[in-house]
Structure 1
Amino acid sequence: MSLMLEGKPLGPDEKTLLIAEVSANHDGDLDRALHLVDIAADAGWDCLKLQTYNADSLTMRSDHPSMDVQKSWGRPTLYDLYEWAHMPMEFHRPLFDKARERGLLPFTSIYDPRDLDFIEDLGCAVYKIASFEMTFDDLLRAVGTTGKPVILSTGMATMDEIEHALEVLDKAGSGPVVLLHCCSSYPAPFEQINLRAMALIGERFGRMVGFSDHTIGSRGPLAAAAIGAVAVEKHFTDDPTRDGPDHKFSATPDVMREIAQGVEEIHTLRGSPEKHTTENEVGSKAWGRRSAFALHDLPAGHVVAEEDFRFIRPSAGIPPTDKAALVGARLSTAVRQGHPIRYEDLDR
């Protein structure tokens, strides 16, 4: 179970795929957005992810009180927030091009089926469905018809909602679907992250599972990688103090580098699902394991009794696990006191 996305491997035996989320941190400035591409590439990340929407594709102008948002988001209504945060459509092509020049896989979150042709023209290799859109069946069907892989975030979701979304995507002919465990809180507190849900999701649906992170710092992504996340997605910025809805919970370049280095080391530490004596352990096994050593001189022809030996370090003789082969055996050769009793010393 693995994928290759424009040369980027994604799978349980691969290094965790790192997805740098630009989100609204472009601040409506193409030069700043292009600078973010360099930050992601220089930090050692694998992918650059955009968000393709505008205020009208997500909501509408309305004076209904349900449209009001918390003051911490910086704008009074959903429409105002998305009008402020959206990325201009003309930014997409230069950002896709710059990402590929820097060795990153560019892709985007799609929010409206009407944007599908535009994104297809960019040569988008994989589609992201945000947690907030996973119940928008029309969008899922449209994306599914491309036959391309889908990365589906599952913030706020129940298991039944995940199952329904997968059914819609599968029936539409979607490519492989990777599920991202997520807590849709900004920022998300550690006590609500529940990374162990990744295993539950993977077992229930038989899909690869990663983590979409909204915590502060590097611990969440690194913990997710350590327990097998195939991908980690995280918002990033060059300045978390700047005005904007997403900067305050986004990773700085230093945190990005820390995550990338940590993920490399974790991949090495995780190794493979095998258990054997490693090359570096051979020496330790030789001097650190116990074996039979003679407590006094034992002549050839002697029948070995328990009082004739002790199991001590190093592992130069018969091991404790085969004591039965030793007790009652006749020696074919003499063994001096303090020397190991070996299999070749026995008359077998």
Structure 2
Amino acid sequence: MFERRDHAFIVAELSGNHNGSLDRAIELMELAHDCGADAIKIQTYTEDSLTIDSDRDEFMLKGGLWGGQSYYELYKKAKTPREWMKPLFSHAKAHGILLFSSPFSYDDVDCLEEAGCPAYKIASYELNDIGLIDYCASFGKPMVMSTGLALEEEIDRAVAAVRKRGVTDLTLLHCESRYPAVPEKFNLKAIHYLKEKYGCKSGLSNHALGDELDIAAIALGADMIEKHFTDDRQNGGVDSAFSMDVKDLKKLVTDSRMVVSAMGRDGIYLHEDEYGARAGRRSIYLVKDIKKGEPLTDSHVKSIRPALGLEPYLLDSVLGKKALCDLKAPQPLNADDFLS
């Protein structure tokens, strides 16, 4: 499901940028699709499936984009309500849009199953919830898992749970889990490591603005790029500060196709249209007249452009050879011009 041959698979994450409006969620979904996103992702949870309503210190957010409010307040504001699932997935199906979701509880998964969700994403903070991972995998659908904050043995357990259920379409996303992300903390080489160790697709879930890190990730073999999306970063959405806007998403789509087309294949080879250009390279030319029987010296020959004579690497081997006939400079030197 999550494969494209000519470019990395681009996922636009809506998260809470719908600002509590179903109509706006649909508009953002259509907009991201029109900008070239291969899939749209949402998050399915209630505030009660993530935390409890408490103002005790451990339940309060400190600093950052959401500091000063409780987890419960943030999730209540940011959630995509369960009652939206059926209309969202129905609209996506009717308009040829690939939509999938991150569930955060068994009830969320059940709701998504009823709505016809075709694939599941496990968020970084849920990667240690093996029960939830197992339940998602039990439906046999393609799965994506973010690995931000995870130790390697935790990724091992999560992948084992998915494979135990027979899921073969798995994508692991490397993730720098700060909001917004800090470029020097990315360790993009983990993308290749995930692919090699677990034998699955890999990619990047990125919360940094700009597409420089995404392009670097694709060059390192990323199959998927996931980024938050909004129409305007000034609209007040809970994640809008680190989300792509329309211009950003279009650029990412264009740039991702460019870099994949530039990757080529292993080995050294020429394209068909390059062979003609080889005539502009150097070759051995006679630059001083020579009589029949005279030996060639370095005063007679020189490596210059164009490439109509012998290859320059043969220059030393022709010195001292006798001319077979009178030769007038300038002309390309060929093997039948001198005694071997």
Matching residue's letter, 1:163: D
1 CA distance for matches of 2:75 and 2:330? 81
Task: Indicate whether 1:320 and 2:312 are aligned.
Answer: yes
- Name the structure 1 match of 2:24: 32
Instruction: Give CA deviations for 1:251-274 in whole Å, capped at 9, x if unaligned.
Output: 111211221222222222223334
Q: Which moved more, 1:150-159 or 1:117-126?
A: 117-126
Contact 1:54–1:86 (8 Å) recurs in 2: yes
SS, match of residue 9 in structure 1? coil
- Name the structure 2 match of 1:139: 132
2 CA distance for matches of 1:185 and 1:177? 24
Task: Indicate whether 1:185 and 2:178 are aligned.
Answer: yes
CA 341–135 in structure 1, closer or farther in 2 if over 3 Å, else same: same
Contact 2:85–2:111 (8 Å) recurs in 1: no
Runs (5+) with no aligned partner, structure 1: none
Task: Indicate whether 1:213 and 2:206 are aligned.
Answer: yes
Contact 1:51–1:109 (8 Å) recurs in 2: yes
1 CA distance for matches of 2:96 and 2:266? 30
Task: Indicate whether 1:340 and 2:332 are aligned.
Answer: yes
Runs (5+) with no aligned partner, structure 2: none
Instruction: Give CA deviations for 1:289-309 in whole Å, capped at 9, x if unaligned.
Output: 211111333456666555532
SS, match of residue 20 in structure 1? strand
5 Å matches for 1:8-87? 9-10=3-4, 14-62=6-54, 64-70=56-62, 72-73=65-66, 76-87=69-80
CA 327–121 in structure 1, closer or farther in 2 if over 3 Å, else same: farther
2 CA distance for matches of 1:124 and 1:300? 85
2 CA distance for matches of 1:248 and 1:227? 27
Task: Return the offset for 1:188.
Answer: 1.2
2 CA distance for matches of 1:333 and 1:54? 93
Task: Return the offset for 1:135.
Answer: 0.6
Contact 2:18–2:237 (8 Å) recurs in 1: no
Identical residues among aligned pairs (%): 35
Contact 2:192–2:222 (8 Å) recurs in 1: no
1 CA distance for matches of 2:327 and 2:119? 70
5 Å matches for 1:64-213? 64-70=56-62, 72-73=65-66, 76-213=69-206
CA 236–301 in structure 1, closer or farther in 2 if over 3 Å, else same: same
Instruction: Give CA deviations for 1:103-143 in whole Å, capped at 9, x if unaligned.
Output: 43211112223333332344433321110111100011112
Q: Which moved more, 1:182-191 or 1:304-313?
A: 304-313
Count of residue pairs the alignment pairs up? 339
Contact 1:41–1:103 (8 Å) recurs in 2: no
Name the TM-score, length of structure 2 as normaliser. 0.88
1 CA distance for matches of 2:326 and 2:31? 72
Matching residue's letter, 1:192: K
5 Å matches for 1:242-281? 242-281=235-274
CA 106–324 in structure 1, closer or farther in 2 if over 3 Å, else same: same
Task: Return the offset for 1:19.
Answer: 0.3
Instruction: Give CA deviations for 1:75-122 in whole Å, capped at 9, x if unaligned.
Output: 732222212211112322332233345443211112223333332344
1 CA distance for matches of 2:61 and 2:232? 24
Over the aligned positions, Cα root-mean-square deviation in angstroms equals: 2.6
Task: Return the offset for 1:342.
Answer: 2.1
Contact 2:59–2:70 (8 Å) recurs in 1: yes
CA 236–75 in structure 1, closer or farther in 2 if over 3 Å, else same: farther
SS, match of residue 330 in structure 2? coil
Contact 1:74–1:245 (8 Å) recurs in 2: no
Task: Return the offset for 1:161.
Answer: 1.9
Contact 2:82–2:108 (8 Å) recurs in 1: no
CA 219–322 in structure 1, closer or farther in 2 if over 3 Å, else same: same
Q: Which moved more, 1:58-67 or 1:207-216?
A: 58-67
Instruction: Give CA deviations for 1:229-286 in whole Å, capped at 9, x if unaligned.
Output: 2111011112322334212221111211221222222222223334222344334321
